[in-house]
Amino acid sequence: MSTATLDAPASTNGKKLENLETVVIRFCGDSGDGMQQAGGQMTNASAMFGNDVRTFPDFPAEIRAPAGSLFGVSGYQLCFSNHDIFTPGDAVDTLVAMNPAALKTNIEDLKRGGTLIVNEEEFNKSGLQKALYEANPLDNETLMAKFRVHKVPMTRLNRDAVDGLGLSQKNADLCRNFFALGLVYWLYDRDPKPTEDNIRTKFAKRPEVVEANLRSLRAGMNYGFSTESFTVHYHVPPARLPAGKYRKITGNEAVAMGLAVMAKLSGKTVVFSGYPITPASDILHDLSAFKHFGVKTFQAEDEIAAMSSCVGAAFAGQLAVTASSGPGICLKGEAMGLGMMTELPMVIIDVQRGGPSTGLPTKTEQSDLLLAMYGRNGESPLPIIAASGPGDCFSMIQEAFRIATEFMCPVIFLSDGYIANGAEPWKIPNVADLPRLKIEHITAPNGENGEYLPYKRNEKLARPWAKPGTKGLEHRIGGLEKKDVTGNIDYSPKNHQHMTNTRAQKVANIANFIPEQTVDGPASGKLLVISWGGTYGAVRTAVQQAQAAGKSVAHTHLKYMNPLPRNLGTILKSYEKVLVPELNCGQLRLLLRNQYLVDAQGYNKIEGKPFLVNELVNVINEFHG
Amino acid sequence: MSVDLPALPTLQSKDFASDQEVRWCPRCGDYSILAQMKKVLPTLGIPKEKFCFVSGIGCSSRFPYYVNTYGLHSIHGRAPAVATGVKLANPELQVWVITGDGDALSIGGNHFLHAIRRNIDMKIILFNNQIYGLTKGQYSPTSPVGKKSKSTPYGSIDHPLTPLSVAIGAEATFVARSVDVDIKHLTMVLERAAHHKGTAFVEVYQDCNVFNPGAFSYATDKETRSDSIVYLEHGKPLIFGKNREKGIRVAEGNRVESVQLGGDIKEDDLLFHDEKTPEPSLAFLLSRMRHPEFPEPMGIFRAVERSTYDESVTKQVEAARSKLGEGDVEKLLNSGDTWFVN
């Protein structure tokens, strides 16, 4: 990417300042090295400057893996640009590696001619051994010749910078991430002020830590400014994003915020039940601080209890929601079935991660689509929604509740590790424009003889929602098959057939109450690429590049997974070929082939990593021919 | 001048009968528990729409269908978790959980423990018949060692749980026991449970006359009853026997012993029950008294006060509101670092 453009601003300290359009940076080091912190700060600084930004935090499941080990490497990649972007970038322009293990596990992603910044002091005998290097890679001339290498004695320089503050050596070394960050700030002409403000707020109670981090940041910037190692630095002008006020948001933050806002605007209580699980726990953390919006959070004893209490809260008449990841969703299955059978509104959030079993807890995957579709006993279809990116979670979680309460059924909301932890600039919506959830609890008996009929349905086949405590509506429901209209237990053959059909029809009907599917690109042609969930950005960018290269290719991105949009069949038949790239073994493809008898082909990747734009462009070209 | 005031609506037992035909086996112990419950509910001064009965799976778990209040017949073992959700979402309801020995202690053991330790304001009534009835006769976690059942033709080798000991170990604030056919006593215990603030746990010995008949005959038969059970009364000594001639005394080594009254041993030497003592050791010791070695205590083992989970949740919400003000959507959306794009 990093294409140099003309009209570069004036240089400083005799060093050239070149303009770039797009830059990809990756910070990597030990999981205790503060790389997520450095990346997050750089993201803020870039977003506040006005660049479009996308991030990809990638960390190990081990909280503090042995220092210097290969499996303990934590990375944070961010891409910032002067135009709108949809992915955190493919190849890395600048790689910051805090130790040999970080270098070894990341160097392959650094582009030829890219900038490599290493803390050379960590490339000692012990560090090299832990990274299983037989020789110091920094001495490998063939390797190093591919990059612009800056060997920086970060540990020593940083210790000097914080000298006199009375910090222990260990605490002094904890500031090295800010030294590295300062150096990158100089290299990419970033204003340090947002970061300095953040340091002052975050460590307000520990002035010596504030001072140390500020000094480290400055020392890093000054190092770039002063030393001869760096002869040029870069500027990425602001992007031309739609006008408005922006903030940075991750998928998990957007879900929590969406729920809190919904509670407040609907005047209902949101009851969130959860059990800690990566990568969904942040939703519980964020929501537990939003009590004053009318949110009650319940950390249950297990996933089953979290789901069961959701059913209880929904029966009791409030907005019930739970969040988990694949292993937890498996445990919730039976209670989700109860929610389905009792036809109560609730939302189940699945922040997908690499599976099966414990799998890859901190890595992303899209492999729970079929679990969401079919992962319960009996015939138990549920509506499924999938967010396309971090900001999209804010509105889609509210959309999930609209469907749940309008149709009286549990709704599954699919996110993934990439969306959950990835950040993007988000245009703050106007409060007046936000949707208001309309909830109508039945208040009086609906039967001809003054009795309450809990399964008497409306035109959408939804049953009424009676709030316990309401006089005259006392009723009993449960997981046993029930007679339509009265809700009494009924095992008779015809009734079971009728109820099974009705529950399925109710979900199928939702297709009439969701937007029609749209297509980016020609309405018919050679190739249609279909994506869903968190791969939106990569697929969209790849298709746009292929279109720019003159290919007859269109893109459509699904957010409603069940039921699928009513015009999707027509769209599929308008192209000669259909390509479904997924981070699984072809789950959406299976559904499309099943439902539309279309010869959809897949491009499937199960590496725990998101798609690169480049690989998709190649696949598109191959399919297009 | 006299004014005709409309009579205050007084609820009666029949108001709590639902229109559903009760489908338990003839002479099942559940009938009596249902009848006593319907007797107690109208006396509590709570409108019937403010009750919610939650159950799991098992014979006992059909209970909610037969009580004309709000009811949720949930899934196996999860009733305490479902009921937690009900109470959190709608704290004004009085929530009852109906469960059995398999439902509460086997598949649902975890939820049982955690509901109790949180002290959520709900009543958990465990129908203990020491057998799986609905699945037609397998041994349960309360069946005695040696129990022959469909799944243990050579006798059970599982050591059973004592429900009351489990509840006390889980930090229960209210623990009681009664028997299905001891109508007056059962009514009293259910009443006490209903009035307890927090999780009230009641074990009811219930006869499954099809798959485990007479499991508790020692505690119900006229001939054996008075020697096999001892009624607990707060502040009173533990006396039992046909002629109240026997008692329970604290012995050396943190244990109790059964003694004959008369001679050197006076009533004052016996163990005096104290259901309110904060320290749970006494209640635990009593829960360990098992037939035939000891008469089994019936009544309120423990009734202490502790803040309830649901109350604390509400308090935290109120505290957050008074500290941070009513949630402000505008402020929330604009929190953190923001910037303008022109």
| Helix and strand numbers, DSSP H then E, in chain A | 21, 23
Of B65, B74, B313, the CB nearest to A479: B74
Q: Supply the pLDDT for residue B4.
A: 67
- Report the CATH number that the domain containing residue B20 is assigned in CATH: 3.40.50.970
The pLDDT tens digits of the residues spanning A457-496 come to 999 999 999 999 999 999 999 999 999 999 999 999 999 9
pLDDT tier for residue B157 given thresholds of 50, 70 and 90? very high
Average pLDDT over residues B64-78: 97
Amino acid A228: pLDDT: 86
Chain A residue numbers with beta carbons less than 8 Å from the beta carbon of B54 are 312
Cβ-contact B77, B122 below 8 angstroms: no
Question: What number of other Cβ atoms are within 10 A of residue A470's Cβ?
Answer: 18
Looking at CA atoms only, how far is residue B279 from chain A in angstroms?
A: 25
Q: Are residues B115 and B251 in the same domain?
A: no
Q: Does residue A520 belong to any structural domain of this protein?
A: no
Q: Where a domain ends, among B272, B299, B326?
A: B272
Provide the pLDDT for residue A193. 95
| Interchain contact, B89 vs A242, CB within 8 Å | no
Are A497 and A590 part of one and the same domain? no
Domain count of the fold of chain B: 2
Domain end residue (candidates: A204, A235, A266):
A235
The answer to whether residues A424 and A295 belong to one domain is: yes
Q: Check whether residue A53 and residue A189 sit in a common domain.
A: yes
Q: Number of structural domains, chain A? A: 4
Q: DSSP states of A256-296 as a string?
A: HHHHHHHHHHHT--EEEEE---TTTHHHHHHHHT-GGGTEE
Nearest to A271 among B88, B326, B334 (CB): B88
B253 plus B118 within the same structural domain: no
Range of the domain at A21: 4-235
pTM score of the predicted model: 0.93
Question: Is the distance from CB of A131 to CB of A101 less than 8 angstroms?
Answer: yes
Q: Which one-letter amino acid corresponds to residue B34?
A: L
Element (H, E) at A621: helix A613-624
Please check whether residues A619 and A588 belong to one and the same domain: yes
Count Cβ atoms within 10 A of the Cβ of residue A489 and give its class: 0-12 exposed, 13-18 middle, 19 or more buried: middle
Distance CA A466, CA A474 (A): 8
- In a domain, residue B175? The reply is yes
B143 & B267 share domain: no
Q: What CATH number does the domain containing A178 carry? A: 3.40.920.10
Contact A468 B340 (CB under 8 A): no
Share above pLDDT 70 across residues of chain A, in percent, rounded to a whole number: 98
Last residue of a domain, one of B212, B247, B272: B272
Size of interface A-B (CB pairs under 8 A): 223
Task: Check residue B254 and give its pLDDT.
Answer: 85
Length of chain A equals 625
| Domain shared by A583 and A502, yes or no | no
Residue B243 Cα distances to A82, A351, A501, B246, B262, angstroms: 95, 67, 66, 8, 12
Phi/psi for A455 (5° steps) reads -115, 25
* 3-state secondary structure at position A441: coil
Please report which confidence band the pLDDT of residue B9 belongs to, taking 50, 70 and 90 as the band edges.
low
Pair (A219, A340) in one structural domain: no
Nearest Cα to B22, choosing from B11, B34, B10, B37? Answer: B34
- The pLDDT assigned to A65 comes to 81
Chain B CA closest to residue A468: B70
Q: Are B342 and A243 in contact (CB under 8 A)?
A: yes
Residue listed under structure tokens 């009641």: B202
Average confidence (pLDDT) over A37-42: 95
B54–chain A nearest CA distance, Å: 9
pLDDT at A62: 81
CATH at residue A303: 3.40.50.970
User: Would you say the C-alpha torsion A617, A618, A621, A624 has a positive or negative sign?
Assistant: negative
Q: Are residues A402 and A460 in the same domain?
A: no
Give the model's pLDDT for residue B7: 60
Q: Is residue A519 part of a domain?
A: no
Is B243 an 8 Å CB contact of chain A?
no
For chain B, say whether A292 makes contact (Cβ under 8 Å): yes
| B103 and B177 within one domain | yes
Task: Choose among B89, B41, B88, B91: nearest CA to B69.
Answer: B41
- Among the ranges given (A2-6, A305-309, B249-253, B265-269), the one the predictor scored with the smallest mean pLDDT: A2-6
Q: Is residue A117 part of a domain?
A: yes
Q: What are phi and psi of A65, to 5 degrees?
A: -65, 160
End-of-domain residue from the set A381, A405, A433: A433
A395, part of any domain: yes
Establish if B166 touches chain A: CB-CB under 8 angstroms. Answer: no
Q: Clarify whether residues B149 and B243 are in a common domain.
A: no
Bridge partners, residue A525, by sequence:
A575
Q: Give B-chain residues touching A48 at CB under 8 angstroms.
A: 337, 339
Neighbours of A610 (CB within 10 A): 25
Tell whether the model's pLDDT for residue A8 goes beyond 70: no
Could you tell me if B186 and B263 lie in one domain? no
Both A347 and A422 in one domain: the answer is: yes
B31 lies in some domain: yes
- Looking at the domain assignment, is residue B279 inside a domain? no
Q: Which residues of B touch A241 (CB under 8 A)?
A: 341
- Within a domain: A45: yes
What would the mean pLDDT of B191-218 be, rounded to a whole number? 97
Residues A20 and A169 in one domain: yes
Residue at B335 is within a domain: no
Q: What is the radius of gyration, based on Cα positions, of chain A?
A: 27
- Assigned domain for A110 exists: yes
Tell whether B164 is covered by a domain: yes
**Residue A33 shares a structural domain with residue A170:** yes
pLDDT tens, position by position, A249-284 = 999 999 999 999 999 999 999 999 999 999 999 999
Residues B146 and B253 in one domain: no
Closest chain A residue to B94 measured between Cα atoms? A469
End-to-end Cα distance, chain B: 78
Task: Name the minimum distance, in Å, from the CA of A433 to any CA of chain B.
Answer: 12
Residue A241 lies in a domain: no
Quick: pLDDT tens for A532-578: 999 999 999 999 999 999 999 999 999 999 999 999 999 999 999 99
CATH number of the domain that residue A569 is part of: 3.40.50.920
B115 and B174 assigned to the same domain: yes
B332 domain residue, yes or no: no
The answer on A260 and A162 residing in a single domain is no
Q: What is the mean pLDDT of chain A?
A: 95
CB nearest A246 (choices: B49, B74, B341): B341
Q: Are residues B171 and B257 in the same domain?
A: no
Same-domain status, B129 and B254 = no
Nearest CA in chain A to B331: A431
Asked if the C-beta of A291 comes within 8 angstroms of chain B's C-beta atoms, the answer is yes
Same domain, B141 and B256: no
In a domain, A259, yes or no: yes
CB within 8 Å of chain B, chain A residues 171-200: 194, 198
Question: Range of B23's domain?
Answer: 13-234+286-316
* Domain identity same for B253 and B303: no
Indicate whether B53 belongs to any domain: yes
A49 with A196, same domain: the answer is: yes
Residue B3 lies in a domain: no
Tokens in use for A127? 């560090």
Which of A235, A255, A278 corresponds to the end of one domain? A235
